[in-house]
A and B are shown apart, each in its own frame.
Chain A
Amino acid sequence: MFKKILIANRGEIALRVIRTCREMGIKTVAVYSTADKESLHVKFADEAVCIGPPPSKDSYLNMQRILSAAEITNADAIHPGYGFLSENAKFSKLCQEHGIKFIGASPEMIEGMGDKSNAKDTMKKAGVPTIPGSDGLLTDIDEAIKVAKAMKYPVILKATAGGGGKGMRIVWKEEELLEMWDSARQEAGAAFGNDAMYMEKYIQEPRHIEIQIVGDQFGKACHLSERDCSIQRRHQKLLEETPSPFMTPELRDAMGDAAVKAALAVQYEGVGTVEFLVDKDRNFYFMEMNTRIQVEHPITEEVIDYDLIREQILVAAGIPISGKNYYPNLHAIECRINAEDPYNNFRPCPGKITNLHIPGGHGVRVDSHVYAGYTIPPNYDSMIAKLITIAQTREEAIAKMYRALSEFVIEGVKTTIPFHLKLMQNEDFKAGNYTTKFLETFDY
């Protein structure tokens, strides 16, 4: 078992990892930029090393600095959290070369899943349903026209090196294809330096349902059921819940099996998430695989009673898993509380938190790194807390969330709490009637 883990991250996830390490008797090292000097993860870790000035590229994204910090503190493993270097193949490799265990995926795995077109091929070969589309990359506009005709419109052009919605164009009819083809390639070339495209059937009003998986070093993999993350604004999740209101036991088994197949096909080690798009007829299609712990992992933890960070560490230390699948016993919802003004286009509002009261009570969990008197630095993302409620039924979980949100006091900065309160009262949301298009028409 590791003696000392360096957490290459900040904010709530750094605190999350430190908490589990403490419970396991593992020493912790926090790294921080000068902007995070007063951050809670720095205070709670056993040791802390300042690694640079505020900009991420000079601190949390700086591989040399992080590895130097691991070296001088004699850390034997690095936990990368989510974001930053957690899915960086080069960093995973550097850790390997320096004899430090990267608590995440191998460089080969990261590379394999990072290239979207490649990942899709791998999944297809493994028998995982994928979105009908082109056979790999499109060579030219003529092939694009042919493929689109065969699939039937609407189709979506996607950049193979893409992400965050860039290099993507939805095409509704053949007349638009040439223009979209040119503009997508131009955008992809500019954003990623790679304008190679592939095409897929455009799934209208899909649900985003992901399956949590765990794989060990001995070739075993299992799933921990689903999370519904359809409520998104500009591809950023705002709320997640499990079980999905759209799920059926048959669909869960089918999707779970597919996710485990995906994990086994790539001999996945660690915790990961396989994301699927689910259409209105409950057909599901592989979208992508995330080879790291996710922001919304707490809702799975709560309905299954399983510490996912602990599992990550155990697997990384070479401990085998049972291979058993896990199913939700309860219902859990998570609201991401951001320091943003929902009435001003979600503009980020960094600043000092002058007053803070965190909700409590039965079935309420808050994962947060903020405290009264803390100044949210402007250099990083705006998420300041994750509010999770757990109950026997979905109705109770929603009622609890509404109550907990009303009790949550954060003064000094604007937050998205009012937005979430409105969401809890929305009839469609309460009926479980939502897709990834929901927020486009949500009036709050």
Chain B
Amino acid sequence: MELKEIQDLIRFVAKSGVSEVELESKGFKIVIKTGNSQEIIRVAEPTVIHAQVPVASAPAPVAATPAAPAAPISAAPVADDSSKYVTIKSPMIGTFYRSSGPGKPLFVNVGDEITAGKAVCIIEAMKLFNEIESEISGTIVKVLVNDATPVEYDQPLFLVEPK
């Protein structure tokens, strides 16, 4: 099996959400296990390759092919039991800030209770600072973007457990 084919297979398995894939053909056998953000790939014959690919990551290791997927700024898929959580997504493009200025207190922290209308962050674009307000009430479970990072439209910013 070619390296490119192995890479494609890993990508496919990661995307599919399946927990274990075993593939056997003439001269080789490959086992891919996903689970707890670790993928272990074993290929028998001609050489054994151990590759660890985190499941919840942006697609593809760096491939030399010109058609390598772009590395969009969009965030990674959410963790496993996110079905009860709601994501606050970015309504605009710009730079995400967790406070209104350096040294100023953060708008929200993990564990904070928020009500609809509460400012959760600032997104700065073209020298204008826009306070982003939450549309839902609940508890902040996770902050998905680092301070002072660029964000794009619809990018998940916060994971909230709704009230």
- In whole Å, how far is A228's beta carbon from the nearest beta carbon of chain B? 35
User: Interface residues of B: mostly helix, strand, loop or mixed?
Assistant: loop
With the chains together, A51 CA to B150 CA distance in Å? 12
Q: Give a binary string over B122-163; 1 marks a CB under 8 Å from any A CB, 0 the rest.
A: 000110000000000000000000000011111100000000
| Residues in A whose Cβ lies below 8 Å from that of B94 | 68, 71-72
Residue from the list A34, A46, A59, A67 in contact with B70, Cβ < 8 A: A46
Which residues on the A side are within 8 Å of B93 (C-beta)? 49-51, 65, 68-69, 72
A52 within 8 A of B: yes
Q: Give 1 or 0 for each of B30-57: 1 = CB within 8 Å of chain A CB.
A: 0000000000000000000000000000
Q: How far is the CB of A24 from chain B (nearest CB, A)?
A: 15
Is A98 interfacial (CB 8 A cutoff)?
A: yes
B149 nearest CB neighbor, chain A only: A72
CA distance A34 to B154 in the complex (A): 8
Contact between B72 and A68, CB atoms less than 8 A apart: no
Digitize B61-72: 1 where CB-to-A-CB distance is under 8 Å, 0 elsewhere: 000001101111
Interface: B95 (CB within 8 A): yes
Is residue A248 within 8 Å, beta carbon to beta carbon, of the partner chain? no
User: Which residue of chain A has its CB nearest to the CB of B73?
Assistant: A49
User: With A64-B126, A68-B94, A72-B93 in contact, do A42 and B153 touch (Cβ < 8 Å)?
Assistant: no
CB proximity of B157 to chain A, nearest CB, Å:
13
Could you tell me the distance between the alpha carbons of A42 and B72 in the complex, rounded to whole angstroms?
A: 9
Contact A47 B73 (CB under 8 A): yes
Interchain CB contact (< 8 A) of B125 among A34, A52, A68? A68
Q: Kindly identify which residue among B70, B95, B125 contacts A43, using a CB–CB cutoff of 8 Å.
A: B70
Q: Which of A30, A65, A69, A72 has the most CB of B within 10 A?
A: A72
Q: Given that A68-B92, A68-B125, A72-B94 are known contacts, is A50 also in contact with B150, CB under 8 Å in the complex?
A: no
Within 8 A of B (CB), among A36-72: 42-53, 59, 64-65, 67-69, 71-72
Tell me how many residues of A have a C-beta within 8 Å of chain B: 25
Q: Which residue of A lies closest to B151 (CB)?
A: A72
- Please pick, from A44, A47, A50, A73, the residue contacting B155 in the complex, using a CB distance under 8 A: A50
Distance of A185 from chain B, by nearest CB (Å): 40
Closest to A40 in B: B67
Q: B153 contacts A48, CB within 8 Å? A: no
- Inter-chain CA distance A71–B73, complex, in Å, is 14
Residue of A whose beta carbon sits closest to that of B72: A48
Given A43-B70, A48-B70, A50-B74, CB of A71 within 8 Å of CB of B125 = yes
Q: What's the nearest-Cβ distance from chain A to residue B21, in Å?
A: 22
A45–B70 contact, CB under 8 A? yes
What A residues does B152 contact at CB under 8 A? 49-51, 69, 72
- For A34, list chain B residues within 8 Å (CB): 153-154
- CB-defined contacts of B154 to chain A, threshold 8 Å: 34, 50, 53
User: Which A3-57 residues sit within 8 Å CB-CB of chain B?
Assistant: 22, 30, 34, 42-53
Is there an interface contact between A47 and B71, defined as CB atoms closer than 8 Å?
Answer: yes
The B-contacting residues of A in range 65-94, CB under 8 angstroms, are 65, 67-69, 71-73
A49-B93, A50-B155, A65-B92 known; A98 and B70 CB under 8 Å?
no
Let me know if B153 and A73 touch, CB within 8 A. Answer: no
Chain A positions within 8 Å of B67 at CB level: 43-44
Q: Which residues from B are CB-within-8-Å of A64? A: 125-126
With a CB–CB cut-off of 8 A, which chain B residues contact A65? 92-93, 153
Interface residues of A (CB under 8 A from B): 22, 30, 34, 42-53, 59, 64-65, 67-69, 71-73, 98
B residues in contact (CB < 8 Å) with A: 66-67, 69-74, 92-95, 125-126, 150-155
Pairs across A and B, CB under 8 Å, 17 listed = A34-B153, A43-B67, A43-B69, A46-B70, A49-B72, A49-B73, A49-B152, A50-B74, A51-B93, A51-B153, A59-B153, A64-B126, A68-B92, A71-B125, A72-B94, A72-B150, A98-B126
Question: A47-B71, A50-B155 given. 8 additional CB < 8 A pairs?
Answer: A34-B153, A43-B67, A44-B66, A52-B153, A64-B126, A65-B92, A68-B92, A72-B94
